[in-house]
Chain A
Amino acid sequence: MSFIEINDLSHVYHRGQADEIAALSHVSLKIDDGEFVAVLGANGSGKSTLAKHLNAILLPTGGSVVVDGMDTRDMAHLWDIRQEVGMVFQNPDNQIIAAVVEDDVAFGPENLGVPSDEIRKRVDDSLALVGMSDFARFAPHLLSGGQKQRIAIAGALAMHTRCLVLDEPTAMLDPVGRAEVLNAVRELHENEKITVIYITHFMEEAAAASRVVVMERGEVVVDDEPHGVFPCVEEMKKRGLDVPLASEVAWRLRKQGVKLPDNIISDDELVAAICR
């Protein structure tokens, strides 16, 4: 059994009302422990609705979501599920509540009734994992966007979360902040074996994942590794999406007769192919 099993999941908002809208239709996905899955799709394609099902913020109106063997519809498992699956949202200012960084990170484990010396250890470990140890006593409002997002991630880690669901965590960040957050996520995935589900509109970020899921009108339309997804330049553009610059440049060069491999997704791969 996979870590997360999404079985024929549908979600209808405002069912029975004039503004009824089907946000997810018959989505089935299995996500294994330790995967790094990027989720792409146009605005309104159902990405965020899907994400909110992974820790029972939303419950299915059809089908089911099972996390580590626990059905999200079973209220008895609610807190176990939320502990295993942590969420980080787009706006860093909406998810930090305490006046001091380390208090914010401690908030989750405190609510679980974790003993205080254990909390101390978890907070220190979590801040170290996202490279924010030096800021433990800072006021969050003095931090940059990238730093705030890493504090939000540390808050989830302090819960001993096994899986991070990040919903466009870099959309509001400056270039340095974007790099900080993506690097922190990659390190957590590689070193701590955290399962990552990463929603983004930045194709270069998605290329860092081990698997890419593309959503369209509430359905999963592509599910493949990045090297299988991004070389399909025309298909991705037709869906209103994009590809990494290197994929597009390689595709256009090939159309003009330059001999290049058909699976290029990064600058380094393109450079290696051209400057042999």
Chain B
Amino acid sequence: MSIELKNVTYTYMRGTAFERTALKDITLTLKENSLTAIAGHTGSGKSTLVQHLNGLLHPTSGVVTVDGTDIAGKSKEAVDARRKVGMVFQYPEHQLFEETVEKDVAFGPKNMGLSSDEVTRRVKNALGFVNIDYDNYKDRSPFQMSGGQMRRVAIAGVLAMEPKYLVLDEPTAGLDPRGRDELIAGIMRFHREHNMTIILVSHSMDDIALMADRVVFMHDGRVLLDAPPTEAFFAKDAIKEAGLNQPRTVTLLNKLKEHGLDVDVASFKVDDTVKRIMSAIKRRKSC
């Protein structure tokens, strides 16, 4: 089971002077249970791509299927297939609207026609994953919360619909460091415990390196590279062409290596980076 794009091309404002082809013949498979990150500079086609995954945009040519069903049609099957894909846009907190946290998170599952027990179970569960204490916060207004908390409540609203596939567009932009770390931890737990397939759009190579099992670099409407992070973040030419950079850990380790420390540079975690530097220093002393 997977989301598949086959030869997808998308042209904005076709037939006008402003015509622009944002996606060019994209073929891509997003496998069930994977966490795929999509990176690329502004205008590379990332957002246009993810808007195809639940039918917000339909290809000018080519096909998008979710679990084998073409999502372009108006049939019940196509509608059901589109609903398998949950979408969290940039700044989702701007879409909060209810009087209380509980009502806001319950809005989606309620509209799915679920029983009130099931809705409550899902609301509690979703808030738990984004680290918002249900009993403490359920009756509070989301508009009285901090930016980071509002972001997490908004994401919980999509998690509560328990979509099979979840698209997150820049989920950590503008969050403070603790808010960012907590949100990433919550997303990763949801990914593991619910086997939720996640598609993450991000400008943070550090976040991508820590979270993704696969990285797609977009450039000029095409897929420039599609590889695991351990490979993608060492493809220097592709990184440069895509206007991206290496994770901070790799940048630091590379500099140490260039200055003569015999260190393994393939590390994305801080504690692991420290271990590698430590062992390189010890090796140096022993010889």
Contact = CB atoms under 8 A, between A and B. Distances in A.
Given A42-B146, A43-B179, A258 B278 contact: yes
B205 interface: yes
Interface string B245-287: 1001101100110011100000000110110011001000000
Nearest to A245: B248
Given A19-B144, A44-B147, A173-B203, A201 B175 contact: yes
Interface stretch (A56-64, A95-103, A218-226, A249-257): A249-257
A128 interface: no
A270 interface: yes
A178 B42 CA distance: 11
Contacts of A114: none
B146 A176 contact: no
Interface in A189-210: 201, 203-204
Interface residues of A, number: 38
A146 B277 CA distance: 34
Interface residues of B, number: 40
A175 B40 CA distance: 9
B252 A174 contact: no
B277 A274 contact: yes
Contacts of B256: 270-271, 274-275
Contacts of A145: 42
A274 B205 contact: no
B174 A242 contact: no
A253 B277 CA distance: 8
Contacts of B259: 271, 274-275
Contacts of B249: 245
Given A145-B42, A267-B252, A274-B277, A172 B170 contact: yes
A177 interface: yes
Interface string B155-187: 000000000000000100111111110000000
A41 interface: yes
B175 A249 contact: no
Given A42-B178, A268-B255, A174 B244 contact: yes
Interface of A: 19, 41-44, 90, 144-146, 168, 171-178, 201, 203-204, 240-242, 245-246, 248-249, 252-253, 256, 258, 267-268, 270-271, 274-275
Interface of B: 40-43, 90, 141, 144, 146-148, 170, 173-180, 203, 205, 243-245, 248-249, 251-252, 255-256, 259-261, 270-271, 273-274, 277-278, 281
